[in-house]
Chains A and B, each alone.
Chain A
Amino acid sequence: MKKYFDSVTRGICMKKMITLALCLALFSTCIPGCGNTGGGAGQDAATLGTDTDSIKTGESSAGTVSSDEDVTTLSFWYINTDGMESYMPDGFVERFQAACPQYKLEITAVPGSAADFETKFNSAKMSSTLPDLCYLTLTSFASLGTRGEFLSLNDQVSTWDEKEDFLDASLDMGKIGGEYTGIGVAPAPVMLAYRTDMFEAAGISPENPPANWEELEECALKLTIKDDGGNVVQAGLDIPSIDYYLNVSQPFMLMNGATVVDEANAVPMLDEPEVIETLEYLYNLYSQGITLPHDWQKRETIPFMNGIGAMSFISVDNFNQLLVDHPELEGKVRMAPPVSNKTSAAFCGYRLLAATAGTEQAEGVWDLIQFFVSSDEMARRIDYGVIPVRTSIQDYYVETVPDIGQTILDTVAVGKGAFVVPWVSMLYKYYGPAYESVMQGMATPAAAMAEAQQQILAEIGQ
């Protein structure tokens, strides 16, 4: 009997021990989720640009700043798009560390689209893992910079002896509140591209692309081809149905002498007559059926990029990518000089360098910026088609890109990118649907722009 009770007791103890072990095992699965994963900038550097070279980072933990006795770590976020202006030449990290041995550089490739970049930036901010320096688009710079996310470089740039070698636009683009906050280092212009074979088929000389609005309309009508059912099979000129970031409508407005946004006073001017006239012109073209509906932000939807458009305002990136995707178009596509109406203008995005407001390595960041924009480094990027902002090496750029180099530089000279105002997201939010309502024929340009103007003013509290 005693043996029986002993075995039962041992069984009960065993049961308790197994139960306890299972409970501990279950609780232990919760522990990794509560741990600090450290760092936050996330991805390792990836292949950038059209070259297959990759970038070597220092350590694996990006997004944190630390220093030991002799070496200070600088973290650098670099937008990773497939555009050439995002290209980072091979060996950049080694060259910088050789030139500035007191620093160790960690580069992280981050998403290139404005929305994705800002999401990542905000996540890093909330986890206190922001980098020291960012290489980002003008759209993101405007959105984040006007919220005070970047350090003022006014003292450094104002006394910089190399400042005179830079395009005025590249430095002015980076001003927030009148202070230099970012440095524009790579323009991303949008230019009129056209198919020479389609021009010839329509009886238009490819040597004389349209230079003003009248010629543009004339060419667009001649180049449009429709089938028996009236469906457009070849678009004469790509006018987007959706132009959320004003990539196409803004340059037309500027060509017409419009202000669009008074950046100095931070007020919208969507209801000015020049803006309305511009939309009337664009709607007139659109309603004549010279285009196919598309979203300019989605490259794959642009008719010109799919070989069914004769003329289109596209970025130099897209132009280069078209030639990569369709090598048979070599020699059949060109980019035209800036079109004008009352004045010459173009959309010209930028990639900028900006130091995050919380960086503890302001001196190191400035050293990195100076290295990045040095003549040598800029010349290396020219070899891969990156447009320089230093006037001293523009001749080298024209030699490297003889066909369209000068045309691109002329466009950059008259180019204007995203507006740098605190409420720039409101501009896109209300202008986008207003533009779409005009193109859909649901509202007149005057009514649509008046409503958008009022909505923006109401939202920004004016």
Chain B
Amino acid sequence: MKKKNSHNDLVGYAMIAPYYLFLFLFILVPVGVNLFMSFTDYNLNTMNFVGISNYLRLFRDPILKKSVVNTLLYTVITLASTISCGLLVAILITQTGRLIPVFRTFVFLPYVVSMASASMIWLWIYEPGYGLLNAILKVFNLPMQSWIYDVKLALICVSVVSFWKLLGYNMVMYTSGLLGIPQHLYEAAKIDGANALHRFRYITLPMLRPTTFFLLVTGFINNFNVFEQVKILTNGGPVNSTTTVMHQIYNRGFVDYQFGYASAITVLMMIVVSIITAVNFKFGSKGHDLDLS
């Protein structure tokens, strides 16, 4: 028996080896190299050890601070809107109706479009001179806006693009969660006199907690990595009002050739995302383990 298990183990390791080799070479090694570079002043030509000066610089960099604030704001706006509206839309489409499948398709369609393409489309929509949004405002005799050229509106405009793209994905996840809620819970609640709001608050929301937790964790990680729409729509402007941490990493590394400092920012981001993920796991994964049998 021991010999047979050993043989099976070897086969198993051989099967998973390619993936772990890939993980090691393309994930773990770059992380290690990045960590090493964060203690240097590498600029593609020279590399000198500079100790923790890159990390000390993180706290003195006003643009990085602005980017962290922007990233947090963007994350809060995008997550809050996509999760709440995703749930609302999911509840709506679980109703019966002939057009529901069509509606579901159209809501999900933006998710399959590449973010770069979507950003180009929204660049036209937001165009102050001839864009779609201002054309609509003009029809209703409302004042035209500068949208992505307005420092007060630019971040919201970027968030809207993300909301438009991610809503469908959240809708699908919540739909799956809603379909998994046993109907007899609602029936029992109705018999007990619970109205729609009570049923939503005491049955739907708690039962969707695992789904919400998943969307929060993945949403935080994805939103902290926001880059494409920022680069294409606004390039971080106007006046750095839309620059994000990832955008700063790109600029510092590939525009300013300060790879050491860019690596330090990456390490900082990794720590922040890890902390947020850990907090989410600690407080968000406490589900109500109901025995529904």
Contact = CB atoms under 8 A, between A and B. Distances in A.
Interface of A: 19, 22-23, 26-27, 29-30, 115, 118-119, 122, 125-126, 147-148, 227-231, 235, 241-242, 244, 292-295, 298, 301, 303, 306, 308, 425-426, 429, 432-433, 436-437, 440, 442
Given A242-B238, A293-B146, A293-B149, A308 B11 contact: no
Given A229-B141, A298-B123, 5 more contacts: A115-B254, A229-B144, A241-B149, A306-B129, A308-B130
Given A119-B254, A241-B149, A293 B128 contact: yes
Contacts of B128: 292-294
A242 B130 contact: no
Given A27-B18, A30-B21, A440-B239, A115 B129 contact: no
How big is chain B's contact interface, by range?
A: 35 or more
Nearest to B255: A425
A231 B14 contact: no
Contact of A231 (B144, B235, B251, B255): B144
A118 B144 CA distance: 38
A231 B240 CA distance: 26
Given A241-B146, A308-B129, A440-B151, A433 B18 contact: no
Contacts of A27: 17-18
B256 A429 contact: yes
A76 B14 CA distance: 46
Contacts of B164: none
Given A19-B11, A292-B128, A442 B239 contact: yes
Contacts of A292: 128-129
Given A23-B14, A244-B235, A442-B239, A122 B22 contact: no
A404 to B, nearest CB: 26
A436 B255 contact: no
Contact of B44 (A122, A231, A308): A122
CB-CB nearest 9 A-B residue pairs: A293-B149, A436-B238, A292-B129, A23-B14, A241-B149, A293-B146, A231-B144, A436-B239, A437-B239
B228 interface: no
Contacts of B254: 115, 118-119, 122
Nearest to A307: B130
Nearest to B142: A229
Contacts of B138: 227, 229, 231
A292 B127 CA distance: 10
B44 A126 contact: yes
A433 B237 contact: yes
